[in-house]
Structure 1
Amino acid sequence: MKNTLISAVLAAVLTSWTAAPAQTPVQAEAAAGNLAPIIFVHGNGDDATKWIPVIWMFESNGYPANRLFAIRFTDPVARREDSKPEAFRSSTTDQASELSAFVTRVLLRTKAHKVVLVGSSRGGMTIRNYIKNAGGAAVVSHAILCGTPNHGVLATDTNLDGEFNGRGYFLRQLNEGSELVAGVKFMTIRSDKFDKFAQPNVGYDGPELKGADNVVLPDLDHREVAFHPLAFAEMYRFLTGRPPETRKPTAEPSPVISGILTSVEGLAPTNRPLPGVRFRVFALKPGSAVRSGDALLDITTSETGAWGPLPVKTDTGYEFVLAKDGRSVSYFMSGIVRSTALLNFRFLPASAAQAVSGPAPSGPRLLIHRPQGYLSKDRDPVLVDGAAVDTLTPGVPTRDSVSVSIAAGRASVRVELRGETVHARPAESENELNIVEFIWD
């Protein structure tokens, strides 16, 4: 009887061992509390939304969601002269101060001793400034700089007060002596010749730092070296010592999304909350831009600009509508596969849309936008109902959006880019701006 009881207990233990799914090394480290929080730092004029796909890829490889953060700078556009105040623009000191406060909040929230900082473009310069000049070296273990113009976008003897001038005061100070800071592991990720801000006048290798782990990803553009799956794979390798198991976000069964609404002041995008906006979200019928019933969410934003939470389906397209002062801006998006609280929508004025995409065509139109990368004719064909958009130019990608005319009477068009399909409704009036948002590719 005793031997029978022991055998039963052993069998139960062995069964529980074999039934339990094996943890990945990253999941095991997460369970032990050994993974440093990662803070993603966006670039000039950008927003935390840019990092959503990268955060999803980290989550899909076992990195805990509660250790992944993205800062949203109040005024993300740099001043034209760093020392001269400019409305709705930020200095290098403004940016480093905001980052310092955000890091402190993350350390307090997670009880961690150090963080990892990952920056895109200007965000990498802010990271370097914080580490070198604001005490960040004591609390940062790794710094990953993606497409950061560490030696300038240009190098001239004029406007030495310009943040992006390789011969200017700011970058000279960052680069004097060692380009690294002791105690912090640095990696840079750059393109070969496709980064519009790393051209021959400064050098294609301008983003590199002496002594860092310098990675080159051929054919990727200025933004892709931060947001492309290949860039994610290099980040993951640098932090964990191993390649990721997947370079695609895995879908959650029931994602929940939220975010804020912001605006543009003059031609400077800001991340300041925008109150008084009627914000509605509609599910779309399969294969079209026709709304499927009433709004899933219908609110008017408060002083916080916040919206959500909103449950969504991974296989459904959505229209996000912002209405204020007699104008409306609609964002059309494909299925949202994971939860996020970082989804920011800007209430773009017509003038701002024209500034980034060129003069808007007459008649029904769409603005096609690719936030995580740029567009060029040969490399990134954009298809509207199967026909290629012919207004894009070949060569080094420099534009993230393009306006297209749509034949009159079309209630829905199909827009494709790199295997992602978004169904959208063209804008019919001057008070309406409709945007195809390719945020997940």
Structure 2
Amino acid sequence: MSKGRRSSKNGPTRRALLGGGAVLCTTLALPGIAKSQPGPRRQQPETGPPPVVFVHGNGDSSALWINNLWRFEANGYKRNQLFAIDFIYPSARSDDSKPQPLRSSAEDQMKELTSFVVQVLKATRRRKVALVGSSRGGNAIRSLLKNGGGADMVSHAVLCGTPNKGIVISDQLLVGSEFNGAFPFLKGLNEGPDDLIPGVEMMAIRSDRNDKYSQPDGRFIGAPGKPTGVSYDASELRGARNVVLEGLDHREVAFHKLAFAAMFEHITGKPPGSMFIAQEPLPILNGKVTGLSEGVYTNIPVAGAEVEIFEVDARTGERKSAVALLRKTTGEDGVWGPFVGRADAHYEFVLRIQGLPTTHTYRSPFLRSSDVVHLRPQPFAKADEGAGAVTIMSRPRGYFGIGRDKFSLDGKVPPGINDGVPGVSMGRLAFDAVPPRTVMAVFNNETIPTRTWPARDGHIVVAEFLN
């Protein structure tokens, strides 16, 4: 699976080599656990690997962990041992010390994660969990371990692309930010000779030079040409096991199959037996609708959202029937399902929320069941003004790398996708409103057919890649 072990003053580093395929599964939504497992529980003997809690990054949701959850399950984990938190306000404050509407402080996230872990321990009757965090999610993990007594609840911690040293170390850039190593939050976490927590097996997974938030130049924080005070190793943990995945970007070091292989081996003590995708013929899909307010996404459920699902032609994206396979208006919990699909089918999800664009999301086939198929509305951008129709290709679990990846929208590379270090996860094109037509989105081995919908009537289209 991986070779080339080397040592450094910051602990051993492994460079992983490509191999294997992928497998898919589902996860538990924690609110349901409290209902199905009420009251005190006797602690079970510690047998087998610990339950795993996945912790998403800045502005994200648990939906990004779908591949990791599937692969853990494919390698022996039970569905009721896999969990993924949804922070209520996933986006960080500009200045961590100052309240900001719809955003959270580092302390907010630490407290929310602590509560979640306590619930998981009660539900599973286990003494400790393993925590896996992407980007900002690793900040919450480190804070829980160092400031919140988390070592009593956590056996393993895996931080993926977490800016442990900071995106910057500066008194001029990102002043007061949780991500600035010169300010109190990270300064406190980084005190001492190393980043280890007694009793917790610590690992960091990082890119070699391809993480846009571990760069000596401030290009990706809006300050091109200005030094950040950090370098390519900003995501390393001092004294811990550090895994370098060459060529992967900031998000891929959490969601790529190689990242899965590294985290699985760290937690279980053995490499995964397979990364092949084993299909369930009739996957059961579910998730929740969450909202957008003042340009900021939250993970607060949206009531009154209308959701429709249509099966579409795999070549053209045209609906196979005018009758929706599912039509539902969400309740207070925001849940839009369940929906029994087919593993070989392409689907169009239509989301209507009052006051926001009607979002048509076209997806690759779902090969296995999942409870984290969350739906978010897609707003129009300033660049969309005057467009007859707008189609977006979106890669939530990675960025588009020119020269590294094969990707296109309607046969073109959309404008705004940068050269060099991959730094953009979305590309968009405008089309005529009529006649409606097929637009193909391609990313490596994924091809998603979409149809244009008129922007003047408030419709916007997203092709969302799974990988």
Whether 1:179 aligns to 2:195 is: yes
Aligned to 1:371: 396
Equivalent-residue separation in structure 2 for 1:121 and 1:40 (angstroms): 12
Please tell me the residue identity of whatever aligns with 1:97. Answer: K
Unpaired runs of at least 5, structure 1: 1-30
Please tell me the residue identity of whatever aligns with 1:192. Answer: D
Spell out the pairing of 1:247-396 with structure 2 (5 A cutoff): 247-293=275-321, 294-325=323-354, 327-351=357-381, 362-389=387-414, 391-396=416-421
Q: Please, which of 180, 183, 191 is the counterpart of residue 168 of structure 1?
A: 183
Contact 2:46 2:126 in 1 (8 A): no
- Which moved further from structure 2: 388-397 or 283-292? 388-397
Equivalent-residue separation in structure 2 for 1:272 and 1:302 (angstroms): 12
Please tell me the residue identity of whatever aligns with 1:341. Answer: D
SS of alignment partner, residue 318 of structure 1: strand
Spell out the pairing of 1:218-229 with structure 2 (5 A cutoff): 218-229=246-257
Whether 1:435 aligns to 2:462 is: yes
Whether 1:142 aligns to 2:156 is: yes
Equivalent-residue separation in structure 1 for 2:328 and 2:297 (angstroms): 23
Contact 1:263 1:348 in 2 (8 A): no
Equivalent-residue separation in structure 2 for 1:379 and 1:167 (angstroms): 34
Greater relative CO, 1 or 2 (CA 8 Å, sep 6+): 2
Could you tell me the TM-score, scaled by structure 2's length?
0.83
SS of alignment partner, residue 279 of structure 1: strand
Q: CA deviation at 1:160?
A: 5.3
Equivalent-residue separation in structure 1 for 2:369 and 2:231 (angstroms): 40
Whether 1:426 aligns to 2:433 is: no
Equivalent-residue separation in structure 1 for 2:314 and 2:244 (angstroms): 40
Superposed CA deviations along residues 328-367 of structure 1, whole A, max 9, x for unmatched, are: 111100110111111111123224xx5xxx6568333311
SS of alignment partner, residue 78 of structure 1: coil
Aligned to 2:211: 195
Q: CA deviation at 1:65?
A: 1.3
Root-mean-square deviation (Å): 1.8
Equivalent-residue separation in structure 1 for 2:91 and 2:409 (angstroms): 32
Q: CA deviation at 1:90?
A: 0.2
Whether 1:207 aligns to 2:235 is: yes
Please tell me the residue identity of whatever aligns with 2:377. Answer: F
Contact 1:82 1:91 in 2 (8 A): yes
Please tell me the residue identity of whatever aligns with 1:198. Answer: S
Contact 1:289 1:411 in 2 (8 A): no
SS of alignment partner, residue 272 of structure 1: strand
Spell out the pairing of 1:8-47 with structure 2 (5 A cutoff): 33-47=47-61
Superposed CA deviations along residues 373-405 of structure 1, whole A, max 9, x for unmatched, are: 011332233223545446532111111101013
Contact 2:436 2:453 in 1 (8 A): no
Please tell me the residue identity of whatever aligns with 2:333. Answer: T
Q: CA deviation at 1:139?
A: 0.9
Equivalent-residue separation in structure 1 for 2:73 and 2:80 (angstroms): 10
Unpaired runs of at least 5, structure 2: 1-44, 217-227
Whether 1:87 aligns to 2:78 is: no
Contact 2:414 2:428 in 1 (8 A): no
SS of alignment partner, residue 233 of structure 1: helix
Contact 1:259 1:307 in 2 (8 A): yes
Equivalent-residue separation in structure 2 for 1:61 and 1:367 (angstroms): 34
SS of alignment partner, residue 304 of structure 2: coil
Residue-pair matches, total: 405
Q: CA deviation at 1:171?
A: 0.3
Spell out the pairing of 1:51-70 with structure 2 (5 A cutoff): 51-70=65-84
Give 1 or 2: higher helix fraction: 1
Q: CA deviation at 1:411?
A: 2.6
**Using a 3 Å threshold, how does the CA distance of structure 1 residues 405 and 92 change in structure 2: closer, same or farther?**
same
Could you tell me the TM-score, scaled by structure 1's length?
0.88
Equivalent-residue separation in structure 2 for 1:139 and 1:391 (angstroms): 44
Superposed CA deviations along residues 282-321 of structure 1, whole A, max 9, x for unmatched, are: 1113422111221111111122111111101111100110
SS of alignment partner, residue 347 of structure 1: coil
- Which moved further from structure 2: 45-54 or 161-170? 161-170
Percentage of matched positions with identical amino acids: 42
- Which moved further from structure 2: 210-219 or 325-334? 325-334
Aligned to 2:115: 101
Equivalent-residue separation in structure 2 for 1:40 and 1:314 (angstroms): 25
SS of alignment partner, residue 343 of structure 1: coil
Contact 2:389 2:460 in 1 (8 A): no
Contact 1:381 1:388 in 2 (8 A): no
